[in-house]
Amino acid sequence: MSADGGSGGGAAHGEPTPQIVSLPGGGNAPALGMGSWQLAEGRHPIEQEKEALQTGLSLGMTLIDTAEMYGSGASEEMVGTVIAGQREKVFLVSKVLPTNATRAEDIRSACAGSLKRLKTDFLDLYLLHWRGGVRQLDVVVDAFESLKEEGKIRRWGVSNFGVADMEELFGIDGGGGCATNQVDYSLTTRGIEADLIPWSVREGVPIMAYSPLGTGSGHILDNPVLAEVADRHGVTPAAVAIAWTMRNGETISIPESGTLEHIREDAAALGLKLSEEDLADLDRAFPA
C-alpha cells in the first residue's frame, strides 16, 4: 500500500489508474465494479437493468456488489440470473444484515440464503453490512472464517466501519483477515480522508467506495469544474468522479448501475489518469 488516499496521496499522478486492487492475504479485486442497490425494485424495467449489468461485465466492470437487504433479496436473485453461465468472470460481493449477524447460526443461514438467490456455490467477498447492534465482533469473525474454510466465501470484510470499529475488529483474534471496508466516499464525502483512509493504508485494508457520484449526485455532475476536467479527457463528469475515487490504486469503486447510458459512462473511468492539474482543480472545487 502506498501513501494516503487524501488530497495529493496515492499513486504518483500521471500513472494510469490500476484496473485491479491488491487484497490482504493475496489475490486481487477489480478496481471498478457495479452496485445493485435499488435494482429489481421497479425503478427501471428489470430487463433493462439486466442488460446494463451484462454490458458492464463486457466492459470490464467485473465486480458486482449486492446484499440480502436490497429489495429483500430481489437484487441478489436478479444478479444470479445475470451471472448464470459466466460466474467465473465475476467477482461477487454480498452482505449480511447486522440483525442476522449476532449468532453464528444466523450468519450461516443468511449466507446460505444469499448463495441460493445468487445461484452460486461461493461468494468472492462477504461483508457485514454495518455494525448496527452487533456487539460481539468475534462471533462474526469466527463465523466468516468458518464459511471461508468451507469454501462458501473466499474472503470477508465489513461495511460502514469507522476507525474505532476497525481498531476493535483488529484487536480480535483473526480480525486482521478483513479484506476491505465498504464506505461512502466521493468528491463531496471526503471526511474519511482525515482518519479512516490513513488508518486503512497503514493496516493494508483497501477501501471500497459506494456512492462515488455522491448521494443525490446531480450537484456533483453539474459542477462546472468537473465538466471542464471531463472535457480535457473526452469523457463524462461521471467518469472523472469515479476515477477520482480510484486515483490512489487502493480503492475499489462501485457506482450504481441501472441504465446502459450510465454503465458506459462509468466504464470510461477504467484506465483514466487524472493529472496534477486535474486533481488540484477538483480539490479546489470540492475541498476536503
Positions annotated as catalytic residues are 70
> Which residue has 459542477 as its cell numbers?
223
For residue 239, how many C-alpha atoms fall within 13 Å in the half-sphere facing its CB? 24
146 exposure class (CB count in 10 Å sphere: 0-12, 13-18, 19+): middle
Contact 182, 160 (CB under 8 A): yes
Nearest by Cα to 180 from 207, 147, 214: 207
Alpha helices in 90-185 (DSSP H): 104-118, 137-149, 163-170
DSSP-assigned states of every residue in 240-281: HHHHHHTTTSSEEEE-B--SHHHHHHHHTTTT----HHHHHH
For residue 184, how many C-alpha atoms fall within 13 Å in the half-sphere facing its CB? 10
87: CB partners within 8 A, 6+ apart:
120
Cα dihedral 29, 6, 186, 66, rounded to 10, equals 30
Spatial separation of the C-alpha atoms in residues 241 and 188, rounded to whole Å: 10
Cα dihedral 44, 255, 77, 137, rounded to 10, equals -140
Q: How many H-runs (helices) and E-runs (strands) does the chain carry?
A: 11, 10
